[in-house]
Amino acid sequence: MNKDSVLKALEQLKKDSPQRKFKQSVDLIISLKDLDFKKPEQQIEFFATLHHTTGKKTKVCGLIGPELKDEAVSVFDLVLMQDDFAKYDKSKAKKLANQYDFFVAQANIMTKVASAFGRYLGVRGKMPNPKAGCVVPPKGANLKALYDRLQKTVKISARKIPLIQLRIGTEEMPAEQVADNVIFIYDQLIHHMPGERNNIRDVFIKLTMSKPLKLDK
């Protein structure tokens, strides 16, 4: 995919879209083909750390034991200590799962995390995931570095239907940064599919309220 063509598409998208009273996001939509999702090895799910943020704050909740309490409180947007897990009934746990983008858990209490929150985080694809660095040791974890990295981390997933859609910027971000995010995700994705570029049907970008605009592959 050519960066210049992405920049031209972004310019056209803004030109064709009327001004809104709110900041619109820029979404990347990729339709796939020739993948058999009944085969686990052809299902897609991975995390990518972008060169730039998506223009939206990523909210991180820490599920923590006493060993990391002080550092976690100074870094994360919310910290729940393991002794407080029992206070979260079904309603509160669902609300929590919807409010935060990533959940970071201390490795030695993962069993308690799964027992208390697994059914609510799991269905939303938000269980603390080692692949995203979200399961941390009780000692030696650099939570500030992890938090900063998660601000640029996106989850790319297609496990049931051949379609990926995710936010990759806002209309107010420099077009160069949005284009960088598009190119990076595209390049990462093709290396996670058996047929690489041959598994991509179409690629589009759109603003929140606009029609999708097709990109050259």
Q: Where are the domains of the chain?
A: 3-55+152-215, 60-150
Q: Report residue 217's pLDDT band, with 50, 70 and 90 as the boundaries.
A: confident
Q: How far is CA 107 from CA 25, 49, 62, 134, in A?
A: 35, 22, 12, 9
Coil, strand or helix at 51: coil
Mean pLDDT score of the chain: 95
CATH code matching the domain that covers 60-150, chosen among 2.60.40.420, 3.40.50.2000, 3.40.50.790, 2.102.10.10: 3.40.50.790
- Burial of residue 162 (number of CB atoms within 10 Å: 0-12, 13-18, 19+): middle
Predicted local distance difference test score (pLDDT) of residue 64 = 97
pLDDT greater than 90 at residue 146: yes
Predicted local distance difference test score (pLDDT) of residue 20 = 86
Tell me the percentage of the chain whose pLDDT exceeds 70.
100
pLDDT in tens, 180-190: 999 999 999 99
pLDDT greater than 90 at residue 18: no
Report field, pTM of the whole predicted structure over 0.85: yes
Predicted local distance difference test score (pLDDT) of residue 19 = 83
Q: Report residue 75's pLDDT band, with 50, 70 and 90 as the boundaries.
A: very high
Please name the fold of domain 3-55+152-215: Ribulose 1,5 Bisphosphate Carboxylase/Oxygenase (3.30.190)
